[in-house]
Amino acid sequence: MSLLLVLASETVYAQMQTRVGILPIVNYNYKINKNWDINFRLESRHFVFENNISENSNFKYEYSLSDISALVGRKTGLNSKFVLGFLTRIEPDAVSYRTIQQFIFQTKIESFRVAHRIATDQTFSSNEATEFRLRYRVSAEIPLSGQKLDVKEFYFKFNTEVLNSIQDNVYDLEFRIVPNIGYVINEQHKIELGLDNRFESFINNQTRLISWITINWFL
Amino acid sequence: MKTTIIISSISFLLLFPFVSIAQHKYEREYRMKSEMIPQSAKRFIDSISTDLKVKWYKEIGLNDVSFEAKFKHKNKQFSVEFDTLGILQDVEFVIKKCEIAPKVYNKIKGKLDSLYQKWKFQKIQMNYTGSNNNLITSIKKNKPTDRIKFSYEIVLKGKALGNTHLYEITFNDQGEMQNIQQIVQDKADHLEY
C-alpha cells in the first residue's frame, strides 16, 4: 500500500506542477454547554519545495499565509451539528475574510467512526471578486489498537474532500486527499501528522498539486 | 509579518489555556494474540466450534481486567468475556428485534414509550449467564436452555425533555427493566474540525 502511494506520488509529481509545504495547525475546542461548542483554529503555511514542469525542481522557503478562524457549532441531533464561522486570512500583501456555514453528521461503521461535512463559504477581499465554494468532506477514524480509540493510542484518519468554487463566473474543482496518523496524548490533547494533498484547477486542465505536510494539534 | 504571526500564535495559546482534566477515567482495550490468552478460555471457544475466526481483546478498567473473544457464529456476532484466569463471565450476541418474544417485546416497548418521546434501537444484544456446558449447548442450539439466565442489553437513541442521548438499558427475560445508563459519547473534534 505504502509502495503504491509512493509510486503514485512520484508519477504525479513528475507530471504536474507541484509545491510542497509545511502546515502547522492548532485547533482549540471548547464545549460551552451540552448543545453549543466553539472551535478556534490557527494555521500557517510555509512552502519549502517547488517543481515546475519547465524548470528544475528546487528547495526554496517561502512564507505563504496564516489563517485565524472561529467556528460556533450547535447540535441538531445526537450525531449532527450546524456550524457558523468566520476566518481571517493574512497574506504578505493582502488580508481576506471568509464566512463559513457547515453541516456535520457522524456515522459508525464497525469499529471506525465516519464524519461527513457539507459546507459552503464565501471569501471576500478588496482586490478580487468574491469566491463562493460548496464542499463535501468525509473523514474516517480507524483505531490502530483495539476497536475503540483510547488514551495513549494511535489512530489512522483519512479525509477526502471535493470542493466546487465559482469566482468571477469561472467555475473550478479541487480534490483533497489527506491521510493522517494521530496519537491521543490524553483526554484533552491529540496530535496528528498528515499529508494534505490538494489537486487544484481540475476544470482548466492545468491541474497542480500542493502537498502540505500537516502537524495538527487538537486541544 | 513573521513577528505578527508569532505574537498572534502566542496570544492564541495564552488566551485559551489548557483545561485541566477533572477526573481521569482509565479504560482501555486492545487486540491480543491468542497465545496470550488463558487455555481454559480458548478451550471454551473451541468447544463451540473449531472453525471460528476469533479476535481476542484485553479490556482494562479502573478495577478489573478481562479478556474478550469476538467472533461470528451462525450469522450472529458474539462477544464472550473471561476473567484473567480464563473463567467465563458472560456471553453476548447481537440479535434483531423480531427475535424477542412478542409478549416480552411489547412490555419493553411500553416501558420505552413511557420513558421517551421518541426512541430508536441502535443495537440489541442477548446476554447469557450459566454453567459452561449449558452455555455451549445454548449457543450451539441458538436457543437458551432452561438453566440459562438471559437478559437483553439494548443500546438506543432516546429523546426525553427535548434532548436526544444514547442509552444502554438492560431488560430481564420477562421484559422488566433492570438497569439504565446514559452513554457518554467520545469526543469527535478531530473528525469535525
User: pLDDT, tens digit, for every residue of B74-117?
Assistant: 888 999 999 999 999 989 999 999 999 999 999 999 999 999 99
Q: Does B184 touch chain A (CB under 8 A)?
A: no
| B12 → closest Cβ in A26, A186, A187 | A26
Residue B13 has pLDDT above 50, yes or no: no
Q: Does B105 touch chain A (CB under 8 A)?
A: no
Chain B residues in contact with A26 by the CB 8 A cut-off are: 9, 12-13
CA distances from A52 to A14, A18, A20, A59, B100 (A): 9, 7, 12, 12, 66
Task: Using pLDDT thresholds of 50, 70 and 90, give the confidence band for residue A5.
Answer: very low
Write the CB contacts of A163 (distance below 8 Å, at least 6 apart in sequence).
A133, A134, A135, A173, A174, A175, A176
Cell 509545504 belongs to A21
Contact status, residue B151 vs residue B168, Cβ threshold 8 Å: no
For residue A65, what pLDDT is reported? 95
Residue A168 has pLDDT above 60, yes or no: yes
Task: Using pLDDT thresholds of 50, 70 and 90, give the confidence band for residue A114.
Answer: very high
Do residue A147 and residue B193 have CB atoms under 8 angstroms apart? no
Task: Using pLDDT thresholds of 50, 70 and 90, give the confidence band for residue A14.
Answer: low
The kind and range of the H/E element at B5 are: helix B2-15
Do residue B193 and residue A42 have CB atoms under 8 angstroms apart? no
For residue B147, what pLDDT is reported? 85
**Best residue of A28, A93, A108 to probe chain B, by most B CBs closer than 10 Å:** A28
Half-sphere exposure of A206 (CA within 13 A, CB side): 4
| B190 → closest Cβ in A40, A148, A157 | A157
- Contacts with A, B 129-168, CB within 8 Å: 157, 163-166
The kind and range of the H/E element at B134 are: helix B132-141
Reported as a single tens digit per residue, the pLDDT across B136-145 is 888 888 888 8
* pTM across the whole model: 0.79
Residue A182 has pLDDT above 80, yes or no: yes
Residue A149 has pLDDT above 50, yes or no: yes
For residue B16, what pLDDT is reported? 43
Cell 517543481 belongs to A51
Q: Considering chain B, tell me which residue range(s) the CATH 3.10.450.360 domain(s) occupy.
A: 25-89
Task: Using pLDDT thresholds of 50, 70 and 90, give the confidence band for residue B148.
Answer: confident
Query: Cα–Cα distance between B130 and B88 in angstroms, integer?
Result: 9
**Quick one: closest CA in A to B119, which residue?**
A78
More confident residue, A50 or A191: A191
Residue contacts between A and B (CB atoms, under 8 Å): 101
Rounded to a whole number of angstroms, the distance from the CA of B1 to the nearest CA of chain A is 7
Lowest-confidence range among A68-77, A200-209, B2-11, B163-172? Answer: B2-11
Shortest CA distance to B121 belongs to which of B152, B78, B93, B150?
Answer: B152
Q: What is the mean pLDDT of chain A?
A: 88
Lowest-confidence range among A86-95, B56-65, B116-125? Answer: B56-65
Residue type, B189: D
For residue A157, what pLDDT is reported? 95
Chain B residues in contact with A182 by the CB 8 A cut-off are: 190
Residues B173-185, mean pLDDT to the nearest whole number: 89
CB contact burial B110-145 (16+ within 10 A = b; e otherwise): ebbeebbeebeebebbbbbebeeebbbbbbeeeebe
Query: Cα–Cα distance between B193 and B190 in angstroms, integer?
Result: 6
For residue B146, what pLDDT is reported? 81
For residue A154, what pLDDT is reported? 93
For residue B22, what pLDDT is reported? 32
Q: For the structural domain made of B96-185, what CATH number should be given?
A: 3.10.450
Q: Does B36 touch chain A (CB under 8 A)?
A: no
Looking at CATH, the fold of the domain delimited by B25-89 is given as Nuclear Transport Factor 2; Chain: A, (3.10.450)
For residue A21, what pLDDT is reported? 95
| A146 → closest Cβ in B30, B188, B190 | B30
Do residue A90 and residue B29 have CB atoms under 8 angstroms apart? no
More confident residue, B130 or A23: A23
Residue B20 has pLDDT above 70, yes or no: no
The domain that contains A19 carries what CATH number? Answer: 2.40.160
Write the CB contacts of B138 (distance below 8 Å, at least 6 apart in sequence).
B128, B130, B144, B145, B148
For residue A13, what pLDDT is reported? 52
Residues B185-193, mean pLDDT to the nearest whole number: 86
Chain A residues in contact with B30 by the CB 8 A cut-off are: 145-146, 150, 153
Number of domains into which chain A is organized:
1
What is the separation of C-alpha A216 from the centre of its chain, rounded to a whole number of angstroms? 10
DSSP code at position B187? P
Residues B47-68, mean pLDDT to the nearest whole number: 88
For residue A147, what pLDDT is reported? 80
Task: Using pLDDT thresholds of 50, 70 and 90, give the confidence band for residue A53.
Answer: low
Half-sphere exposure of B18 (CA within 13 A, CB side): 10
Chain A residues in contact with B12 by the CB 8 A cut-off are: 26, 28, 40, 42, 68
For residue A78, what pLDDT is reported? 86
**Quick one: closest CA in B to A142, which residue?**
B191
Query: Cα–Cα distance between B66 and A78 in angstroms, integer?
Result: 31
Residue A98 has pLDDT above 90, yes or no: yes
> Which domain covers residue A210, as residue numbers?
2-218
For residue A54, what pLDDT is reported? 59
Q: Does B29 touch chain A (CB under 8 A)?
A: yes
